[in-house]
């Protein structure tokens, strides 16, 4: 199929991000650059730049572009940060983070997704991303502490290893709540205490792990 993805991508940036208040130039450049369709199964690429989440296999989804942008904006990246991402999924958010931060550590629990994502991110030339297949609710202790932590799967509580691995004055973003309805929550660590800000309602697939949901619901 002869689809002009560049035009679709520009339209996505204008109609879904700028029109909803995303202003930061570095962010808009990152969303204009990263080829979202490459992170989406070939048969679903017609929906790659649409305003909704898309299935990526194994019962998981790539988040809607605006949600990826909103979460990234909340992280407030300047280019110097070491970021931990839990829930690599398609790797799209990982690539956006790699454009805007210094280094990205990303954990995905499903080997089938890791097998697809690793070669793709290498092919796209990202040298500042490390991926591992594991339970991300345990964090990545060998690489800690992190300036920012982003969890792109829903958890009933803040996994404590992640709050331990967050730097002082660091920031964590996660969907907190029940299986089908959560609140996107921004956590800041100050004086070794966690302070929470509620951002908006959201729906994510569950964080399945020791400090998330015990099994797939
Ligand atoms: N940011 C991704 C979102 C993928 S959906 C994207 O836009 O493509 C959330 C992902 O979290 C799924 O791939 C799921 O397998 C993964 N996940 C769920 N629980 C996890 C855990 N404990 N550790 C690591 N990854 C987990």
Domain ranges of the chain: 5-202
Q: Is 63 one of the annotated active-site residues of the chain?
A: yes
pLDDT for the residue 2: 64
96 pLDDT exceeds 60? yes
Choosing from 32, 47, 63, 106, which is the catalytic residue? Answer: 63
217 pLDDT exceeds 60? no
Q: What is the pLDDT of residues 41-51, one digit of tens each?
A: 999 999 999 99
Ligand 1 within 6 A of CB of 17: no
114 pLDDT exceeds 80? yes
Q: What is the pLDDT of residues 150-165, one digit of tens each?
A: 999 999 999 999 999 9
What pTM was computed for the model? 0.97
Please report the atom of ligand 1 found closest to the CA of residue 212: 22
Domain 5-202, CATH class in plain words: alpha beta
d(CA 172, CA 41): 29
């Amino acid at each position: 199929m002869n689809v002009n993805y560049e035009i679709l991508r520009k339209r996505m940036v204008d109609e879904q991000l700028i029109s909803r208040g995303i202003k930061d130039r570095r962010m808009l450049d990152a969303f204009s650059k990263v080829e979202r369709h490459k992170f989406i199964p070939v048969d679903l690429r017609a929906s790659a730049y649409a305003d909704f989440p898309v299935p990526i296999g194994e019962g998981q989804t790539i988040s809607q572009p605006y949600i990826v942008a909103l979460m990234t904006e909340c992280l407030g990246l300047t280019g110097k940060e070491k970021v931990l991402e839990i829930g690599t999924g398609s790797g799209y958010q990982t690539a956006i983070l790699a454009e805007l931060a210094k280094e990205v550590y990303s954990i995905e629990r499903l080997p089938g997704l890791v097998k697809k994502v690793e070669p793709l991110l290498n092919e796209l030339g990202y040298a500042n991303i490390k991926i591992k297949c594991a339970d991300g609710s345990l964090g990545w202790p060998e690489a800690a502490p992190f300036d920012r932590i982003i969890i792109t799967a829903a958890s009933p509580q803040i996994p404590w290893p992640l709050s331990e691995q967050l730097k002082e004055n660091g920031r964590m973003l996660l969907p907190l709540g029940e299986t089908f309805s959560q609140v996107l929550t921004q956590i800041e660590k100050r004086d070794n205490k966690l302070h929470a800000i509620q951002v908006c309602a959201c729906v994510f697939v569950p964080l399945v792990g020791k400090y998330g949901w015990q099994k797939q619901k």
